[in-house]
């Protein structure tokens, strides 16, 4: 069991969001759904929390009401092995959501994600500062990250 679990506050879409996220990522599942009882504070019988796993990582989604919403101050980063994976996740997570910059997006629920090719960190960490700077400049000009364009900047 993991020691720290990300807890996500939704207005009333916790179960819908958990089902969506588990459809996007392989090795994902709904673990448990708990409903409000007579004590509330939600309407009796409605979903209170949904525990789910994405790629083996556990999350809990709460239907807590409209008091709190997501912001870019917290995001979920997904390391992608290929451009195909970047493209696939980008398409699924931006459906009904919003593209941002540098591999960031907001999904249809307002949760921020970073869809990042694994090779980006390797190129930015290169000991040659010119290569690192070229890759960083290329990345800063992108919305969805493009591995070929990043490699071209790196190898320039």
- The full set of domain ranges for the chain reads 1-68, 70-156
Sheet arrangement for strand 112-117: 75-80, 112-117, 104-106, 98-99
The domain made up of 70-156 is a member of CATH 3.10.180.10? yes
Say what the pTM is: 0.94
Residue 85 · residue 60 · CB < 8 Å: no
Confidence of residue 140 (pLDDT cuts 50, 70, 90): very high
Per-residue tokens: 75: 């995001």
Residue 35, pLDDT above cutoff 80: yes
User: In this predicted structure, which of 21-30, 37-46, 88-97 has the lowest mean pLDDT?
Assistant: 37-46
pLDDT tens digits, one per residue of 95-108: 999 999 999 999 99
Closest CA to 138 of 101, 113, 112: 101
Query: What is the average pLDDT across 18-25?
Result: 98
Cα 134 from Cα 137, distance rounded (Å): 5
The model's pLDDT over 60-72, given as tens digits with 9 standing for 90+, comes to: 999 999 999 999 9
What is the pLDDT at residue 40? 86
CATH entry, 1-68, from 3.40.1350.10, 3.10.310.30, 3.30.720.100, 3.30.70.141: 3.30.720.100
Give mean pLDDT, residues 80-109: 98
Question: What is the predicted pLDDT for the residue at 56?
Answer: 93
Q: 116 by DSSP, 3-state: which?
A: strand
CA 143, CA 138: separation in Å to the nearest integer?
Answer: 10
pLDDT, averaged across the chain: 97
């Amino acid at each position: 069991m993991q020691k720290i679990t990300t807890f996500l506050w939704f207005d009333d879409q916790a179960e819908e969001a958990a089902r969506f996220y588990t459809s996007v990522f392989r090795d994902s599942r709904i673990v448990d759904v708990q409903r409000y009882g007579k004590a509330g504070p939600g309407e009796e019988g409605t979903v209170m929390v949904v525990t789910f796993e994405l790629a083996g990582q556990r999350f809990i989604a709460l239907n807590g009401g409209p008091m709190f919403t997501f912001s870019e101050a917290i995001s979920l980063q997904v390391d992608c092995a290929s451009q195909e994976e970047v493209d696939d996740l980008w398409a699924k997570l931006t459906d009904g959501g919003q593209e941002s910059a540098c591999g960031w997006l907001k999904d249809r629920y307002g949760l921020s994600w970073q869809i990042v090719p694994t090779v980006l960190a390797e190129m930015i960490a290169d000991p040659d500062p010119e290569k690192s700077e070229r890759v960083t400049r290329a990345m800063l000009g992108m919305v969805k990250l493009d591995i070929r364009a990043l490699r071209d900047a790196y190898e320039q």
